Structure 1
Amino acid sequence: MKKISCLLLVMTLYCSFLNTALAQNDTLALAPLPSLDDFTKGDDGWSFGLGLGIEYETAYEGSDEFGIEIQPAGAVQWRNGDNIFYFAGEAIGWRGLQGDTWLLEALLGFEEGREENDSGDGRLDGLGEQDEGFELVLQARRAFTGDWRYWLVGRVVTGGDGNLGLFGVGRRFGEQLDGTGSEVNLVAVFHDSEYANKGFGIDPMQAAASGLDATALNGGLRSIGVDYSYRHYINNNWQIYGEALFEYYSSEVRKSPIARSNYETEVGIGFIYIF
């Protein structure tokens, strides 16, 4: 009798989660891309998600040191038809669907910069602190079909220290239209000389203070990268998400003494509660 009761309990819980998942699949995200937060469930008005994520990543661009960082997750969103305005952590932005195959996005985000103590091994000693500031990010995705199975992506990042551009292709896996499932993007990243030297350049004063060779980089190809995103509804309110990124630097970047590694990588997982 006890075994039957346990079996009934498991079946009840399973059916509950299954019905919830099916209900979520009936909702439409602005665009069914797991890399994008969409807490609106297809409804106009306010939505709110709050959570926590854990990331294992390189300590700074070009570092061969790794660390674990805990970060808040989620956003406050307001949807009006095919437009979502949002505030997420250190960024405020808008994304909008134009027709069935264009997704445009603009956000203003806070860039923390780099500090000498980002390297626990003293690899940045003498290079000074980089100023904090804001960056404007403009992004466009062009889907080949209305179900967003494949797309082209372009992104421009601009601020007080040069410009960065990203161009690539992406693919979505799964049949869901509620923003869950997984996706992968293969991209090429370019930067101008100002942006390149912000991260990897060493001027004569820094060279004298750090003992590293003075280095000046040209603009051009920065890296080739691949990123993966996953999102799943545990129930009606809880989401689990995961992400992974790998970026392999170009030969121009790898010649910098700051680039102790030929690549940058990041892996993260987290949970979000949708109110």
Structure 2
Amino acid sequence: MKKFAGLVLLVLMHAVFFQTAFAQDGKSALVPLASLDDFTRGEDGWAFGLGLGIEYESAYEGSDEFGFEAQPAGAVQWRRGDDIFFFAGEALGWRGLRSDTWLLEAIVGFEEGRKESDSDDGRLDGLGDTDEGLEFALQARRAFDADWRYWLDSRVVIGENGNLGIFGLGRRFGEREDGSGSEFSIVAVFHDSDLANTEFGVDPAQAAASGLDETNLSGGFRSIGAHYNYRNYLNDHWQIFGEVLYERYGSDIADSPIARNNYEAEVGLGFIYVF
């Protein structure tokens, strides 16, 4: 019920603030997608955004416990032409536009580990903690035309705890080129056996300590997901953003004793001040 209420809130925010976009001067973002923050206002040089978001989400991968969590938002960016270098949270990256219809991105960051204490109900007791790991992500998006109304997406994430592949199709809504508006995408997610077992496997020692059945997973299909992103401007400096994420696990993951649900969900809403 709370997830549904969060979705309704985002839809209402979309309606309330739709008319406020006139405050922007229409300067072009690198790519006019709501999911990619761009604080440069179409100009070369440094740009800064700082804000806060509130997320209502699963406590861990496959959890049936949900809760609210505050997350910092924003980034430090440096733009030169069709290239932006950025630092956001624990991630350092670059994205570049090529031929108006290709967006390439490379990111070095950290994958958040899992702790037994993530479950207030003790669902993870005996499984131990999963360490935070370094990961490297490469992404390519290919638009069908220069206005980025429709696009194809592919991403490969290589990490210390395993590897992930994501393939999707997206649709942008809205007419502006400043990164405001909304978008919707559907993605298929695949992982290797290392990542599958890091997140959903139970080795013999963990089985003995937790009482859960020993579980060894192979790589392959992980999930199908849907993602909605929203971003708009309240005035020259303030942005509002939001997202809704739903990921439905494949049968192998859903059968793991760690997966108390056969899905993961998240609703987020926040504000950013652009300097």
| TM-score, scaled relative to structure 2 | 0.92
State how far apart, in whole Å, the 2-side matches of 1:256 and 1:197 are. Answer: 10
Amino acid of the residue matched to residue 43 of structure 2?
D
Question: Residue 31 of structure 1 aligns with which residue?
Answer: 31
Question: Residue 231 of structure 2 aligns with which residue?
Answer: 231
Aligned pairs for 1:1-275 (under 5 A) are 21-22=21-22, 24=24, 26-275=26-275
Counterpart contact for 2:23–2:235, Cα < 8 Å = no
TM-align CA RMSD: 1.4
**How far is 1:134 from its partner?**
1.2
Counterpart contact for 1:20–1:236, Cα < 8 Å = no
Percent of aligned positions that are identical:
71
- Structure 1: stretches of 5+ with no match in the other structure: 1-16
* SS of corresponding position for 2:117: helix
Counterpart contact for 1:25–1:177, Cα < 8 Å = no
Residues 1:143 and 1:160: Cα distance change in structure 2 (over 3 Å): same
**How far is 1:132 from its partner?**
1.3
State how far apart, in whole Å, the 2-side matches of 1:73 and 1:163 are. Answer: 26
Amino acid of the residue matched to residue 33 of structure 2?
L
Residues 1:265 and 1:122: Cα distance change in structure 2 (over 3 Å): same
State how far apart, in whole Å, the 1-side matches of 2:115 and 2:211 are. Answer: 17
Residues 1:19 and 1:254: Cα distance change in structure 2 (over 3 Å): closer
**How far is 1:112 from its partner?**
2.2
Amino acid of the residue matched to residue 221 of structure 2?
L
**How far is 1:162 from its partner?**
1.5
State how far apart, in whole Å, the 1-side matches of 2:216 and 2:60 are. Answer: 19
* SS of corresponding position for 2:24: helix
Counterpart contact for 2:222–2:249, Cα < 8 Å = yes
Instruction: Please give the per-residue CA displacement for 1:92-132, whole angstroms capped at 9, x wherever unaligned.
Output: 10000011100000111112200000000000000001111
Amino acid of the residue matched to residue 36 of structure 1?
L
Counterpart contact for 2:133–2:161, Cα < 8 Å = no
Instruction: Please give the per-residue CA displacement for 1:204-255, whole angstroms capped at 9, x wherever unaligned.
Output: 0000000000000111110000000000000000000001100000001011
- Structure 2: stretches of 5+ with no match in the other structure: 1-16
Counterpart contact for 2:127–2:206, Cα < 8 Å = yes
Counterpart contact for 1:233–1:239, Cα < 8 Å = yes
Counterpart contact for 1:239–1:273, Cα < 8 Å = yes
Counterpart contact for 1:229–1:242, Cα < 8 Å = yes
Of structures 1 and 2, the larger Rg is shown by 1
Instruction: Please give the per-residue CA displacement for 1:161-216, whole angstroms capped at 9, x wherever unaligned.
Output: 21100001000001010000000110000001111101000000000000000000
Question: Residue 12 of structure 1 aligns with which residue?
Answer: none
**How far is 1:268 from its partner?**
0.2
| TM-score, scaled relative to structure 1 | 0.92
**How far is 1:23 from its partner?**
5.7
**How far is 1:41 from its partner?**
0.5
